[in-house]
Amino acid sequence: MSATGRGRHTRIVAIGALLLLAVAIMASLLIGARPISPAAAGEALFAYDPANNDHIVVLSQRIPRTLIGVLAGASLALAGTLMQGLTRNPLADPGLLGINAGASVAVLAAITLLGVSVPSGFVWFAFAGAAGAAIVVALIGTRGPDGGNPAKLALTGAAVTAGLTAVTTLILTTSIRALDVYRYWSVGGLTARGLDTVVIVVIPIVAGAIVAFSSARGLDLIALGDATASGLGQNIARTRALGVIATVLLCGSATAIAGPIVFLGLLVPHALRAVVGGDYRRLMLIGAPMGATVLLIADVLGRVIAPPGEVQAGIVVAFVGAPVLIALVLRKKQVAL
């Protein structure tokens, strides 16, 4: 395909992704235990009536939930794209840096030591734990003559994750109270969070997205191999450092506001490669709205599949994402044969 053809194809796919996101946002505002009409949702946004229960639901619950879904989904997709580029592994995800494990330990510390018991109170602790774990992995994984090697980074991440997971298990098996509070947060979801949590993570997410997009060209060169990238003048160490920083900001923020949602950061960029190719700028440009769309749709499905209760979005993503990912892997294997 020519450069002009690729550009046209990318624009078409990007427009399609934005349209899907718009549909997902509308569904998130209208569908739930209390169905809201489009007219009522519009009035809630532009002619709010504090005596109207539909307006209250839209402004106090649906809008914060939708914004969190958009921010968390886009952030996880970008973070997953970065990790796949940094490690040259299309099946990598942000969990390689120990982000989820670090956030979990920090949240448990907040529960057991400080008595925090609501998801909105976990935001700073989860972000600090995620960042701390990723920094430890980055510092250890980049030391030595082969520092920054993808395999070394992955092994370091696995080791740190194993250690933190052991700490998590120890706390959960010795504290019933911690288990009762933690199990709700650990499945990943968009409920019980307000706009105050959105405000906390907007700046880190925007900063992480800017750094991610600025790293796209470097990731394209790294995909050719370290020797080739260095020969073309790319500073590999700088690109990897920026990628790790962006991943911490993006995935740490998403985990802080939505809990440890698995599969999304792995699934979205991996699936998009079959549509837009391996160019990281295109993967990020289209992956961000697609990640937001996937998480919002999962949240909407969770509201309607088990009435009158709800299934958390993290469970829906994992339940649907696992077979989809298996199908993608099997299809690629068959093509290769």
The string of pLDDT tens digits covering residues 186-230 is 888 888 777 888 888 999 999 999 999 999 999 999 888 878 888
Please state which of the ranges 27-31, 150-154, 156-160, 250-254 shows the lowest mean pLDDT.
Answer: 150-154
Residue range 248-252: mean pLDDT, rounded: 91
Please tell me the least confidently modeled range out of 71-85, 217-231, 290-304.
Answer: 217-231
CA distance 245 to 39: 43
Residue 334 scores a pLDDT above 50: no
- pLDDT, greater one: 70 or 45: 70
Q: What is the pLDDT of residues 140-183, one digit of tens each?
A: 887 776 666 777 888 888 899 999 999 999 999 998 888 888 88
Structural tokens at position 160 = 């740190």
Q: 187 near 56, Cβ under 8 Å?
A: no
Question: Under 8 Å CB-to-CB from 118, ≥6 apart: which residues?
Answer: 192
Q: Judge contact between 111 and 117, C-beta under 8 A.
A: yes
Predicted local distance difference test score (pLDDT) of residue 140 = 87
Q: Which residues are CB-contacts of 41 (< 8 A; sequence separation ≥ 6)?
A: 29, 30, 54, 58, 62
User: Stretch 70-91: mean pLDDT, rounded?
Assistant: 91
Q: Please report which confidence band the pLDDT of residue 292 belongs to, taking 50, 70 and 90 as the band edges.
A: very high
- For the chain, which residues make up each domain, given as ranges? 72-336
What is residue 9's predicted lDDT score, i.e. its pLDDT? Answer: 83
Two tokens, residue 11: 């624009």
Residue 87: pLDDT band (50, 70, 90) is confident
Reported confidence tier of residue 337, pLDDT bands at 50, 70, 90: very low
Q: What fold, for 72-336?
A: ABC transporter involved in vitamin B12 uptake, BtuC (1.10.3470)
User: For residue 2, is pLDDT > 80?
Assistant: no
Q: How confident is the model at residue 237 (pLDDT cuts 50, 70, 90)?
A: confident
Whether 185 shows a pLDDT value over 50: the answer reads yes
What is the structure's pLDDT at 200?
A: 87
| pLDDT tens-digit map of 125-147 | 988 998 899 889 888 887 776 66
Query: How many whole angstroms separate alpha carbon 323 and alpha carbon 317?
Result: 11
d(CA 212, CA 137): 19
